[in-house]
């Protein structure tokens, strides 16, 4: 299973390889322009979570501009949409989601340049940077405190006056254990990676971040950013318009941004701090995501998180604060027990119907 698409390891091998190669693969780089003018010129040893955040964001942009079924080929003609995506992640301060701007924006989340990020921090930073994206609009919502509130997502992505929907990247940071992941969550994580709206998971092992894109039985499949490659040099100037930068990207060799290798890792070995990602191109996609979460993910105990139409009435933190405040890089809150939440609010947030485990088996 690769981000919502089921394959047969026997009959679909070429399709699997093509799917893996299509993903934009961001790794450590060296010899790029100094971050902040006088800072690091490589991110080896500290930038792996930044690179994983880039990969998830690039996957969302690919789904937005090219579609989930688009495939990259080394000899194929590169279209403008692909170049516009790649241009935003190059190792240069003019690139909106470059390691340079992620590092500098990380200072607003209490992270010094060169300091390791956790999943929640990279989500918060990518959300802030998306406000400066001049090429295409992507709304970003971060569901905090293990609570996905539908009305808050609608405020993020839907214009109340026109009803216009802005494509959504949804992050759900979670902490699924104290020092190691509780294996009781594995079935729900598999279900998340089986949904067609999934954009993957950022997580990994302690101080080793990976971008998880699928699973086979009890093993996660991931792209590994821990390879140091020489930065691709660009002749970008501060006077260049965004369109000129996109056009210039056409001349950049892009082979090093794609790989043929997907790695495997047991679910039980991952760090309990992760961030789920989902992409919803339309409001109908978001509605479908909510239905699927209720049927195939939140029907399992313990629940990964809770899904509510509106904020619980006893919640004493403003919604704006809850969705923007950073967290310590544990990096996400401890999962609360669903029963205790019901005792606080007097009702269960998850009002959807539950199906049996056989429904999940159909997805796997």
Active site residues: 48, 224, 226
Cis geometry, peptide bond prior to residue 302 (ω within 30 degrees of 0): yes
Q: Which of 161, 121, 79 is nearest to 328 (CA)?
A: 121
Q: Please give the full DSSP string across 138-183, using - where no structure is assigned.
A: -EEEE--TTEEEHHHHHHHHB-TTT-PBPPEEEEEEEE-SSSS--G
346: which 2 tokens? 């007097």
Q: Which of 265, 122, 261 is nearest to 205 (CA)?
A: 265
DSSP state of 9: T
Neighbours of 338 (CB within 10 A): 18
What is the C-alpha separation between 257 and 254, in angstroms, rounded?
5
What is the C-alpha separation between 359 and 364, in angstroms, rounded?
9
Angle between helices 242-249 and 80-87 (to 10 degrees): 110
What is the C-alpha separation between 62 and 52, in angstroms, rounded?
15
What is the C-alpha separation between 189 and 106, in angstroms, rounded?
28
What is the C-alpha separation between 140 and 197, in angstroms, rounded?
14
Are 89 and 98 in contact by the 8 Å Cβ rule? The answer is yes
Query: What is the dihedral sign for C-alpha 352, 288, 204, 11?
Result: positive
Are 157 and 165 in contact by the 8 Å Cβ rule? The answer is yes
What is the C-alpha separation between 188 and 295, in angstroms, rounded?
11
Q: Please give the full DSSP string across 95-124, using - where no structure is assigned.
A: STT-HHHHHHHHGGGT--TTPPP-HHHHHH
């Amino acid at each position: 299973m690769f981000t919502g698409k089921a394959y047969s390891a026997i009959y679909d091998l070429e399709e699997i390889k093509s799917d893996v190669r299509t993903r934009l693969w961001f790794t450590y780089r060296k010899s790029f322009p100094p971050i902040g003018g006088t800072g690091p010129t490589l991110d080896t040893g500290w930038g792996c979570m930044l690179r994983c955040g880039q990969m998830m964001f690039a996957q969302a942009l690919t789904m937005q501009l090219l579609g989930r079924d688009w495939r990259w080929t080394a000899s194929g003609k590169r279209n403008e949409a692909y170049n516009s995506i790649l241009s935003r992640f190059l190792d240069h301060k003019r690139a909106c989601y470059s390691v340079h701007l992620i590092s500098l924006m990380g200072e607003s989340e209490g992270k010094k340049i060169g300091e390791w990020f956790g999943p929640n921090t990279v989500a918060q930073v990518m959300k802030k940077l998306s406000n400066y994206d001049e090429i295409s609009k992507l709304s970003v919502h971060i569901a905090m405190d293990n609570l996905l509130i539908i009305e808050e997502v609608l405020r993020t992505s839907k214009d109340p006056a026109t009803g216009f929907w802005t494509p959504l990247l949804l992050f759900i940071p979670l902490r699924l254990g104290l020092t190691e992941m509780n294996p009781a969550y594995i079935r729900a994580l598999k279900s998340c990676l089986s949904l067609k709206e999934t954009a993957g998971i950022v997580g990994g092992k302690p101080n080793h971040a990976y971008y998880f894109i699928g699973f086979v039985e009890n093993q996660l499949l991931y792209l590994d950013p821990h390879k140091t490659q020489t930065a691709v040099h660009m002749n970008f100037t501060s006077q260049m318009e965004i369109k000129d930068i996109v056009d210039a990207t056409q001349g950049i060799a892009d082979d090093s941004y794609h790989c043929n290798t997907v790695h495997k890792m047991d679910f039980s070995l991952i760090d309990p701090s992760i961030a789920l990602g989902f992409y919803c191109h339309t409001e109908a996609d978001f509605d479908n995501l909510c239905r699927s979460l209720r049927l195939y993910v939140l029907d399992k105990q313990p629940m990964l998180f809770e899904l509510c139409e509106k904020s619980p009435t006893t919640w004493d933190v403003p919604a704006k604060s809850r969705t923007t405040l950073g967290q310590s890089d544990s990096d996400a809150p401890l999962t609360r027990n669903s029963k205790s939440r019901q005792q606080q609010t007097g009702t269960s947030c998850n009002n959807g119907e539950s199906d049996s485990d056989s429904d999940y088996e159909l997805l796997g």
